[in-house]
A and B are shown apart, each in its own frame.
Chain A
Amino acid sequence: MSAAAQAAPVAAPRARNAISGMQRRRRRTAWLFLSPMLLVLALVAGWPLLRTVYFAFTDATLFDIAFHELVGAQNFAFLASDPDWWAAVRNTLIFATASVAIETLLGLVIALTLNARLRGRGPLRAAMLIPWAIPTVVSAQMWGWMLHDQYGVINAVLLSLGVIATPWAWVADPSLALWSVVAVDVWKTTPFMALLILAALQLVPRDVYEAARIDGLGPVGIFVRITLPLIRPALMVAVLFRALDALRVFDLMYVLTGNSPSTASMSVYARQQLVDFQDVGMGSAAATFLALVVAASAALIIVAGRVRFDTAGR
């Protein structure tokens, strides 16, 4: 302890000492409590992820994963020269943009509807959660069954309503297939989106609306000037989480259309390289690239949407 500190009144340094000692102890406690979780995470996530990034620079095959050589950025060069890869990138970006945009809009509509004072809102909310609770493998198969061009119920209903004149090949027609996949995804995740928005809407105090009405704002004015700004932070985080999910989409395409080039996403491409072609190097390179795209998109949304990330303590 310095002379200056000794010269100071006795009580203050002792208190400060006590506080900083306590803080040190608390910091030690923090790491103590964190360590089991971090250890497990390092084991089940860190290690496999590092392996993947490492494999991206090798010529490893599933055939004999132990024998491989470092090949530098060769896999990435091949990736860049493969038109199928760029088609997959394009499909993924179209899919993610379209599905997230539609889900957000539709989610808003549904949330606003449910936010109106309605009897039976509870059961309604539960009904909306059903699509989300059904395993994707199952719901994709259900939709594949319903979208079948010859004996699917969708064509049967639309035909009998006179909406379409001949059966449409929803998942086979290259110009429709990607949009059918988007439609199924919208079905599956709009409820999720709607619930998040609804939760945010219900946090908006009712008297804000009253005040706006007294100021003479119409329903549209209230929505644009009051509601939207108030729920924007929640909306942006919801969009962020959905976008991260949408960019990694795999099982929907895989079950509905297999490896068809007109719908294959980046994850489907990566899996095809890794599993179908046994090319661990290429598959890992594609997966690593995908993770970079996801990270970049996340950063973009966080910055553009001014998402708050001050998570702990106030």
Chain B
Amino acid sequence: MPRPLRRAMGRLGLWLLVAVIVVYTVFPFYWAIVSSLKGGQALFGTELLPRDPQWSNYAELFRQQPFGRNILNSVFVAGSVVLVSLVLASGAAYALGRIRFRGRVPLLMVILSVSMFPQVAVLSGMFELIRWLGLYNNLLGLTLSYLIFTLPFTVWVLTTFMRELPQELEEAAMVDGATPFVTITRVFLPLMAPAMATAGLLAFIAAWNEFLFALTFTLTNEMRTVPVAIALISGASAFELPWGRIMAASVIVTVPLILLVLVFQRRIVEGLTAGAVKG
């Protein structure tokens, strides 16, 4: 085979592979969009394009339940979890990443092992805690409970970033007589902005998607977050499942995340690389 032809074939093969990958990753989401545009009996068909697309599922969604409110709840909970995690974790990351002290590595291991317990396992203990603090059916209860998975993760990512920063910066600050607090807020935080964005984004996604705690610790429709609201969408009677509306809700919930991912994808990759690759 002549060389240019072989190269062209290689190119073609590569693009084919890429096409397969894209279909594989994107098709289910496409199918959710298609299903959300179908109504009634058409849902049970398998046409790849909706014959007459209709928006009724979306309209119904907001009319039948406080879905707008649910979205606001999710934004509030995810946003506050990110804020609290970042504030707590950046201080901790400074200590873990910049200061050598005994018990540092075991401490990191303990923080890691917190994320080894299955979520189900802490459910009853967490429920008691939430009740005891009077945060049942309160969005702050969710904020608090989500810290169990966002905090260890954020600490790990920020610690890895923190220890990458050059030693000279801190020394210069210390020579100028700055306190550690000033060093962190004036010297490190500006440099940490990309890392904070990454860790925050990942924590946001994790909190946005959480289901089990949100189901257990909230009671009324007005306090539900979006994943729970979706899971609780029901039809006219107890057994009926309105697939069209569920898919419409899924699309609405996923689009902001996809936009976030599109905008921040480079950041996300950086964060994952720091968190996992450098371990």
Which residues of A line the B interface, CB within 8 A? 26-27, 29-34, 36-38, 40-41, 43-45, 47-52, 55, 62, 65, 109-110, 113, 116, 118, 122, 124-131, 133-139, 141-143, 145-146, 151-153, 156-157, 187, 191-192, 195-196, 198-200, 233-234, 237-238, 240-241, 244, 248, 250-251, 266-267, 270-271, 274-275, 280, 283-284, 287-288, 290-291, 294-295, 298, 307-314
Contacts and interface: CB of A to CB of B under 8 A. Distances in A.
B246 interface: yes
Contacts of B273: 196, 199-200, 234
Given A37-B89, A152-B46, A298-B116, A313 B25 contact: no
A18 to B, nearest CB: 12
Interface of B: 14, 17-18, 21-22, 24-26, 28-29, 31-32, 35, 43-46, 48, 88-89, 91-92, 94-101, 104-105, 107-109, 111, 113-126, 128-129, 144-145, 147-148, 151-152, 155, 159-160, 163, 180, 184, 205, 208-209, 211-212, 226-227, 230-231, 243, 246-247, 250, 253-254, 257-258, 260-262, 265-266, 268-270, 272-273, 276-277, 279
Given A126-B261, A199-B272, A250 B120 contact: yes
Contacts of A187: 24-25, 28
A137 B45 CA distance: 23
Chain A contact residues: helix, strand, loop or mixed: helix
B117 A116 contact: no
25 contacts: A26-B99, A31-B95, A40-B147, A41-B114, A48-B128, A48-B148, A51-B125, A52-B121, A52-B122, A52-B124, A65-B124, A129-B261, A130-B254, A135-B209, A141-B230, A192-B272, A195-B268, A198-B269, A234-B276, A250-B212, A266-B118, A290-B118, A307-B279, A309-B279, A312-B97
A33 B114 contact: no
B121 A137 contact: no
A151 B249 CA distance: 21
Q: Which 7 A-B pairs have the closest CB atoms?
A: A48-B125, A287-B121, A51-B125, A156-B46, A30-B95, A37-B92, A48-B122
Contacts of A240: 279
A189 B130 CA distance: 32
A26 B115 CA distance: 28
B261 A130 contact: yes
Nearest to B209: A135
A196 B269 CA distance: 7
Contact of B116 (A139, A153, A244): A244
Contacts of B48: 153
A312 B268 contact: no
